[in-house]
Amino acid sequence: MEKTEEPKALNVLTIRCPICGNKTLQIKETEYYIPYLGKALLVSRYCSSCHYRKSEIVPLEPKRHQRIYVRISSEDDLKVKIVRTSTTSIEIPEHGIYIYPGIDAPFFITNVEGILQRFYDAARRIAILSQNKEERIASMLFLEKIDRLRNDPSPFTLILDDPAGLAKVIGSKKLKFILVEDVEGD
């Protein structure tokens, strides 16, 4: 599929919904060209009975394993866009912050501030739902740390580690420091 081609519908399938059990879950697969990512398969699921909805983007042109190091040192750096694939882990080692992709990890395009917001939202859910006092306290301290990074970004390193080699930093020309490393082996 070339960059100028229209999206190409590949398959449409109706099966039993895992949520409501009715045979009304429609799965559609469409091939797209996505800027910064390349050729990708968009898989969408929608149940007309219970309105369950899920979609995912599957890259079709993986590259070599890459690790990207980005130095964030100003408020403007928080606005740099990040492409995170479903195989990308994100780390901020100076603050002991890590997010590893799980079985249902989403593909997303956001900025550094958006990544910090995702960390914040996860810690907030833990703080609210935890039955364990120590876990709640640790979550609250983590929330304060993320707030400090968002409001007054002391320099930190954001590391994107993507075995599929598709993670990207968009607008990196504004950054003072960015390093892209090809990773050999595992």
In order of their start, the domains of the chain are: 8-59 (2.20.25), 66-182 (2.60.120.1040)
- Which residues pair with residue 108 across a beta bridge? 84
Mean pLDDT (whole number) for 79-84: 90
**Which residue in this structure is represented by tokens 């593909």?**
107
Mean pLDDT (whole number) for 124-133: 88
- In the chain, the percentage of residues whose pLDDT exceeds 70 is 93
Q: Which residues contact 116 (CB under 8 A, 6 or more apart)?
A: 78, 146, 149, 150
More confident: 168 or 23: 23
pTM > 0.85: yes or no? no
Confidence bin at 108 (pLDDT 50/70/90): confident
* Best CA proximity match to 81, nearest among 163, 184, 160: 160
pLDDT score of 2: 46
- Which residues pair with residue 42 across a beta bridge? 30, 57
**Which residue in this structure is represented by tokens 């519908």?**
9
pLDDT score of 18: 93
Mean pLDDT (whole number) for 136-153: 86
pLDDT score of 130: 86
Whether residue 176 has pLDDT greater than 70: no
pLDDT score of 103: 81
More confident: 143 or 175: 143
Mean pLDDT (whole number) for 47-52: 96
CB 52 within 8 A of CB 32: no
Q: What is the SS3 assignment for 122?
A: helix
